[in-house]
Amino acid sequence: MPLTPTDASQDSADDGDFAAYATAAWPRLVRTAHMLTGDFHEAEDLVQTTLAKVYARWRRIPRDDVDFYVRRSLVNNNISRVRKRRVVQLLMPFLPERVDESEPGHAETVAQRAALDEALAHLSARQRAVMVLRYWEDLGEAETAQLLGCSVGTVKTHARRGLEALRAHPLFDGRHPVSGARP
């Protein structure tokens, strides 16, 4: 069926909406995905796949719920990815420094990031998702439960077990105090 002028203008408006949303959301989504995957390339692939799926359903997603829908899609896509794919990257013990990085304490930051990646790698995909949503996305237990499609009790259990696992890591046992977060 040929597109009417109204359909075409609606398509164009939708594309514009999506482009604005994707451009604004991309950096934070990549950072969240990096927390979920532990790998920068995997993170960008994951966000790209998620946004493509969101684009395909863009007209049907209520604008007030876009963030919730995208987060849920990101987490679910990651769980599917983990189920069917294992990626082993032989990384250097410490991730490479960026060329323009010259601030003092950067080596400590890089070591800390590597340590956090390592600590999170020991969690299951759902435990990891709970930790990321609670402590990076700053969602509450009820919102996390709604997003993961489970009960608040399950979220609490995942968070408790995740914390127990992380406590065993040197980064969180008090030997390596965490410095202040960047703005």
Partner 1 sequence: MNHPFRSPRPPAEAERLREAFAEAAYDVTPSVVPLAAIEREGRRRRRRRGAAVLMAACGVLLVPLAVVVFRTGAAGEPSAPSSSVRPPSPTAGTASPSPSAPAGKVRVVAPGERVTVSPGTRIWLTEDGKHWTEPDAPGPQFRSVSDGNLDMSTPGITLQESGQGDGYFLSGIFHGPGEPARVTVTTSAGDVDGTALVLAGKPGWGVWYAQVRVPKSATPDGSMTGVTERVTVHDSAGRVIATQDFTP
Binding to partner 1 in span 74-133, by CB under 8 A: 82-92, 95-96, 98, 109-110, 112-113, 116-117, 124-125, 131-132
In terms of Cβ atoms closer than 10 Å to its own Cβ (0-12, 13-18, 19+), residue 163 is middle
In a 3-state reduction of DSSP, which class is residue 95?
Answer: coil
Considering the complex, what minimum distance in angstroms separates the CB of residue 131 from partner 1?
Answer: 8
By CB under 8 A, tell whether 51 contacts partner 1: yes
Looking at the Cβ atoms of 52 and 62, the one nearer to partner 1 is 52
Considering the complex, what minimum distance in angstroms separates the CB of residue 6 from partner 1?
Answer: 19
Contact segment (CB under 8 A) with partner 1 among 2-10, 68-76, 162-170 equals 162-170
d(CA 81, CA 32): 15
Considering the complex, what minimum distance in angstroms separates the CB of residue 115 from partner 1?
Answer: 9
d(CA 64, CA 35): 25
Residues whose CB falls within 8 Å of the CB of residue 43, separated by 6 or more in sequence, listed in order: 30, 31, 33, 34, 36, 37
List the x/- string, 20-39, binding to partner 1 by CB under 8 A.
--xx--xx--xxx-xx----
Considering the complex, what minimum distance in angstroms separates the CB of residue 16 from partner 1?
Answer: 11
8 A C-beta contact, residue 95 and residue 114:
yes
